[in-house]
Amino acid sequence: MLRSAIYDLDGLLIDSETVAYHVDRDILRYYGHDFTLAHYAEKYSGRTILRNMTDFVEEYALPITVEEGIRQYEEWEAEYVRRGIPLKTGARELLDYLKEQGCLISLASSSIEERARTILTQNGVTGYFDFFTFGPEVKNGKPAPDIFLKALEKTGVAAEDSLVLEDSDAGVRAAVAAGIPVACVPDVAQPGDETLRMATGVFDSLLQVMEWLKTR
């Protein structure tokens, strides 16, 4: 019986991966470099800002430090956040269904808390969540299992009675490493075949996840 659902945020609950690409593209264009969606999806999607900016500074020989690049990213992304980042298709319907079933709902996101809560509030879904875990609370980012182990600890629910909802390769691997079943709804970057085989199920949308849960 499913007693706990643990949500990723970016690319799973909200349609933010395209925003991340646009911010990265805008920064690189500012310094005179082209940056395609295909290249972003192949190498950079689903990773932390720190990891991406470290690679950008090296790969494109940017005339800034990693720290300066991260500040620039956060400032430029904040404008997109102010405009509003929408929920993914089926997000609200699945949240409603899980609540109706008496399931605990958690958010486990690599994002900083202020940004995540702002986006949830803008979309009117903060009240669905019983627990929150954010990147700065754990030592190691995905694909290490730390963030999902921390989220699981907060719920007090056994791993086998929980389900992680993820979109990225690193996220699926993190859930598997934590010993928690995982439903994968790929976004901009398709996880590798090996990773997809690790998932409990692979779905085209959150609506499809909801229909699958109804049959369990």
Confidence of residue 141 (pLDDT cuts 50, 70, 90): confident
Our answer to whether residue 26 is catalytic in this structure is no
200/113 same-domain check: yes
What confidence tens digit (pLDDT) does each residue in 149-175 have?
Answer: 999 999 999 999 999 999 989 899 999
What confidence tens digit (pLDDT) does each residue in 46-96 have?
Answer: 778 899 999 999 999 999 999 999 999 999 999 998 999 999 999 999 999
72/163 same-domain check: no
Q: Which domain holds residue 50?
A: 17-83
72/145 same-domain check: no
Q: Where are the alpha helices (DSSP H) in the chain?
A: 17-30, 37-39, 49-59, 66-83, 91-100, 113-122, 146-155, 169-177, 193-198, 206-214
pTM (predicted TM-score): 0.88
Our answer to whether residue 161 is catalytic in this structure is no
